[in-house]
Chain A
């Protein structure tokens, strides 16, 4: 049985408190008056002007002529920037909330796959996976509250622009999609997803614990959990795709990509497996998972390695196909990302692909806990950036920065995640006893 040490509990609470402070700071500084924004823009412009004074002079003549017409345009621009600034703390929270939610969901999917495929190595890790997936319900609710809350709270700071009736009124394209993209339908779908996932998680956990206390040879609960895992995976295939269109892709309501759902999946599964490995290594370090040996870690690290490559494959497929055909309505997505997020957009390729590819290639490395931990941290940072680059360009545009609101949000939900997962770990023995594959798993060597 696991008990949270007071130190760890205090640590996660400190994270939450620091996170709340960071988020509060973000909200306090994000609402600027139009005048402030204008002054800010003028300052920025002057600053740029100093650097490019030569070209400024050449274009100067033209500028003075068009200056009067630009006044109205400048106002519009300032309002736009004002809205972007107001969206920043919301988006920062949203990215972090998504990050931890997708990890929990990825773990749940991985868990179901292991059960449905009757994996012989994984059962010793089932309790770890069950505990991580405990964050799914609160995490997904937070995501939805933020998505909808950003519309109802405050003025013009919604993460999803299609929730803003003024925008929709002038936008024929969004109007055509409003049968799908409206708050009621969005909420109904979200409730279905969350209810379905959580129901599976609830029963999987219930059967898993019931199997512990069953008579030897009584595999009824095991069979039940096998069946619901198969059912869940079908449900998951559909809902994961729709979830990623709803919760992520529709931040850019003009843009679409058929691969998107599977791309999001590849990111969440790699994040999920990474967290399983990290939690397992942590618990093993405490001596709480004696049946987990370095072959289990090796297997998890292989999955981290494999799914990192799979992520890169889908990233490349989506990017290359759109880049190659260069159809204007699709390519804007990558144009804005490459122009304003160049370092993050290409940097995450190094974190999510090149780095894991190089360090986790070697078989011996995959058995070394600190190595896997190090790879894991890099993958998680890469996965966060992946989500950051999916959401931010649509909400704050080129006004992005990784500062107090972003870090605060990560601390807030990170602390919450830690608290929920660790609490869930204390609820059941860490070694599932009754699983018919448990002995195979304990004796697993590779």
Chain B
């Protein structure tokens, strides 16, 4: 087929001499096998962290928000920091599954499933915070415009916090549908391979009777493309709306117009770092090194490098405009970040976010698994601090010096954050054992154009 000519200088995406059958076997193996001891150990630790987090949440809700470290000046700190951090992490999944699909990036095939799973689990963690940081979470349903007996008392649509409700819930629903649609052929594959009746029953239910007819595939592709086209503006708008929480305010350090694209760039940055962290472990643990190759890691590192640089441009832009604006509050907000009591957080954020991705310019470093893993952790620490710095340093010193104060988290603040990390890993570990973690249907679609074996055959002219 002339239309599928591929330049010889492109490197293979599927290593080893794989056939279609090998792909099925490799991907179904973790689902069909039994969990080993280390899986149980990690799962137990995550579960313990999760249960500890639930305890802290129950304690907060039953006792009151006062058990957190917030005060009258700083009404948002770890709660919203964690919220934005988790939402940001969730963005890479949609970026990989939707934006890379629009850009016809074949390397996304091996990583999109796990990236989307990560999105969904991260958005679930994020979704907890808007609820539990409410003073009266049991009235949380009042944020919905439901006709009621208070003379149909409605919500005010002018608040970005309400837009958040719509953004996050839409984002979660669309991501879930997009993910599930992609899973249908894979569930069908597991269903068809299942030997135990119980497994067969479960995967038959999950696969919605997928039989892989030509018409089904045609519509499947169409739906994927449409959903990708919808998910791309969605992913931009969700984090934009999250950024509006700050940017619509009049707080110096918050009110700045660059926040929408800059938060999105930061989200992609931290999200890819998280995907890298997870996949570097996963490829090893479930032996998928032939599918998630060094090239995949390298390309993700390049995305991290690019988005890290965009974030760097945004930092410098903010600093410059703060000076240029001539607004002394704005100038002080940035002076305070750099030299105030939270200078260490600012320094940490700058080091992790602006300098660390620049190492990726070196091919040796970006193709090193150890180094990529290390940087991916560093980036997520940096991005947590970015949100912390934006939120806390802007609040703790603003217009009135008499309202200046400091923020100290309590063990409950920290416990809930740890709990969400635990919950995230509980979900992800369960996913890794029950779901096909690589989209076999899509990998099979690129096997003949980008598989090592077929490339070799083409080059030797045997075909």
Point out residues on A near B: beta carbons under 8 Å. Answer: 118, 120, 173, 176-177, 180, 219, 234, 237-238, 241, 245, 256-262, 309, 313-314, 317-318, 320-322, 324-325, 327, 329, 436-437, 439-440, 443-445
- Interface pick from B42-50, B110-118, B324-332: B324-332
B157 CB-CB contact with A under 8 Å: no
Would you call B3 and A445 a contact (CB within 8 A)? yes
Would you call B317 and A261 a contact (CB within 8 A)? yes
A241-B313 contact in complex given A219-B9, A436-B9, C-beta closer than 8 Å: yes
A262-B261 contact in complex given A257-B321, A325-B255, C-beta closer than 8 Å: yes
For B377-414 the 0/1 string (1 means CB < 8 A from A) is: 00000000000000000000000000000000000000
A324-B313 contact in complex given A258-B256, A440-B7, C-beta closer than 8 Å: no
What are 28 A-B interface contacts by the 8 Å CB criterion?
Answer: A120-B6, A176-B326, A219-B9, A237-B310, A238-B316, A256-B324, A257-B257, A258-B256, A258-B257, A258-B317, A259-B258, A259-B261, A260-B257, A262-B258, A262-B261, A313-B236, A313-B260, A317-B260, A321-B257, A321-B259, A325-B248, A327-B255, A439-B5, A439-B7, A440-B5, A440-B6, A443-B3, A444-B3
Closest to A176 in B: B326
Closest to B325 in A: A256
Distance between B227 CB and nearest chain A CB, rounded to angstroms: 15
How far apart are the CA atoms of A261 and B316 in the complex, in Å? 12
B79 CB-CB contact with A under 8 Å: no
The 7 closest A-B pairs by CB, nearest first: A258-B258, A259-B257, A317-B260, A445-B3, A443-B5, A324-B248, A256-B325
Distance between A438 CB and nearest chain B CB, rounded to angstroms: 8
Residues of A within 8 A of B258 (CB): 258-259, 262
Distance between B452 CB and nearest chain A CB, rounded to angstroms: 19
Would you call A327 and B250 a contact (CB within 8 A)? yes
Closest to A438 in B: B7
A256-B321 contact in complex given A241-B313, A324-B248, A439-B7, C-beta closer than 8 Å: yes
Would you call B255 and A321 a contact (CB within 8 A)? yes
A321-B324 contact in complex given A258-B256, A258-B318, C-beta closer than 8 Å: no
Beyond contacts A173-B326, A329-B327, A436-B7: 7 other A-B pairs, Cβ-Cβ < 8 A, are: A118-B10, A259-B258, A260-B257, A313-B236, A317-B257, A321-B260, A325-B248
Kindly identify which residue among A237, A314, A321, A440 contacts B309, using a CB–CB cutoff of 8 Å.
Answer: A237
B244 CB-CB contact with A under 8 Å: yes
Which chain B residues numbered 2 to 49 have a C-beta less than 8 Å away from chain A?
Answer: 2-3, 5-10
Secondary structure of the A contact surface, majority rule: helix
Would you call A238 and B313 a contact (CB within 8 A)? yes
How far apart are the CA atoms of A325 and B314 in the complex, in Å? 21
Distance between A66 CB and nearest chain B CB, rounded to angstroms: 34
B275 CB-CB contact with A under 8 Å: no
Residues of A within 8 A of B341 (CB): none
Which chain B residues numbered 229 to 244 have a C-beta less than 8 Å away from chain A?
Answer: 233, 236-237, 240, 244
How far apart are the CA atoms of A221 and B9 in the complex, in Å? 14
Distance between A32 CB and nearest chain B CB, rounded to angstroms: 34
Distance between B314 CB and nearest chain A CB, rounded to angstroms: 8
Residues of B within 8 A of A444 (CB): 3
How far apart are the CA atoms of A120 and B449 in the complex, in Å? 14
For B204-219 the 0/1 string (1 means CB < 8 A from A) is: 0000000000000000
Closest to A179 in B: B323
Would you call B233 and A321 a contact (CB within 8 A)? no
Kindly identify which residue among A180, A260, A321, A437 contacts B248, using a CB–CB cutoff of 8 Å.
Answer: A321
Residues of A within 8 A of B324 (CB): 177, 180, 245, 256
Would you call A314 and B317 a contact (CB within 8 A)? no
Would you call B257 and A120 a contact (CB within 8 A)? no
Residues of B within 8 A of A443 (CB): 2-3, 5
Point out residues on B near A: beta carbons under 8 Å. Answer: 2-3, 5-10, 233, 236-237, 240, 244, 247-250, 255-261, 309-310, 313-314, 316-318, 320-321, 324-327
Closest to B256 in A: A258
Residues of B within 8 A of A329 (CB): 327
Residues of A within 8 A of B247 (CB): 321
Distance between A25 CB and nearest chain B CB, rounded to angstroms: 38
Distance between A171 CB and nearest chain B CB, rounded to angstroms: 11
How far apart are the CA atoms of A314 and B265 in the complex, in Å? 14
Kindly identify which residue among A219, A257, A314 contacts B261, using a CB–CB cutoff of 8 Å.
Answer: A314
A-B contact count (CB 8 A): 86
Distance between A419 CB and nearest chain B CB, rounded to angstroms: 35
Residues of A within 8 A of B233 (CB): 309, 313
Closest to A123 in B: B7
Would you call B260 and A259 a contact (CB within 8 A)? yes
Distance between A58 CB and nearest chain B CB, rounded to angstroms: 37
How far apart are the CA atoms of A165 and B10 in the complex, in Å? 58
Would you call B321 and A258 a contact (CB within 8 A)? yes
Residues of A within 8 A of B317 (CB): 241, 258, 261
A437-B310 contact in complex given A177-B326, A318-B257, A321-B257, C-beta closer than 8 Å: no
Closest to A255 in B: B325
Residues of B within 8 A of A313 (CB): 233, 236-237, 240, 260
Would you call A325 and B313 a contact (CB within 8 A)? no
- Most chain A CB neighbours (cut-off 10 Å) among B8, B10, B261: B261
Kindly identify which residue among A118, A309, A320, A325 contacts B249, using a CB–CB cutoff of 8 Å.
Answer: A325
- Most chain A CB neighbours (cut-off 10 Å) among B236, B244, B257, B326: B257
Distance between A231 CB and nearest chain B CB, rounded to angstroms: 10
A325-B9 contact in complex given A259-B258, A313-B236, A318-B257, C-beta closer than 8 Å: no
How far apart are the CA atoms of A241 and B318 in the complex, in Å? 12
Kindly identify which residue among B236, B244, B314, B320 contacts A321, using a CB–CB cutoff of 8 Å.
Answer: B244
How far apart are the CA atoms of A439 and B8 in the complex, in Å? 10
Residues of A within 8 A of B5 (CB): 439-440, 443
Closest to B2 in A: A443
Residues of A within 8 A of B240 (CB): 313, 317
Residues of A within 8 A of B236 (CB): 313
Residues of A within 8 A of B309 (CB): 234, 237
Closest to B237 in A: A313
How far apart are the CA atoms of A314 and B3 in the complex, in Å? 37
How far apart are the CA atoms of A180 and B324 in the complex, in Å? 8
Distance between B158 CB and nearest chain A CB, rounded to angstroms: 8
How far apart are the CA atoms of A259 and B247 in the complex, in Å? 12
Residues of A within 8 A of B320 (CB): 245
How far apart are the CA atoms of A342 and B237 in the complex, in Å? 27
Closest to A326 in B: B250
Residues of A within 8 A of B256 (CB): 258-259, 321
Would you call B2 and A317 a contact (CB within 8 A)? no
Distance between B340 CB and nearest chain A CB, rounded to angstroms: 21
How far apart are the CA atoms of A413 and B240 in the complex, in Å? 38
Distance between B324 CB and nearest chain A CB, rounded to angstroms: 6
Residues of B within 8 A of A436 (CB): 7-9
Distance between A96 CB and nearest chain B CB, rounded to angstroms: 27
Closest to B249 in A: A325
Closest to A180 in B: B324
Residues of A within 8 A of B10 (CB): 118
Residues of B within 8 A of A234 (CB): 309
Residues of A within 8 A of B316 (CB): 238
Distance between B316 CB and nearest chain A CB, rounded to angstroms: 8
- Most chain B CB neighbours (cut-off 10 Å) among A258, A314, A318, A439: A258
Closest to B6 in A: A440
Closest to B251 in A: A325
Residues of A within 8 A of B260 (CB): 259, 313-314, 317, 321
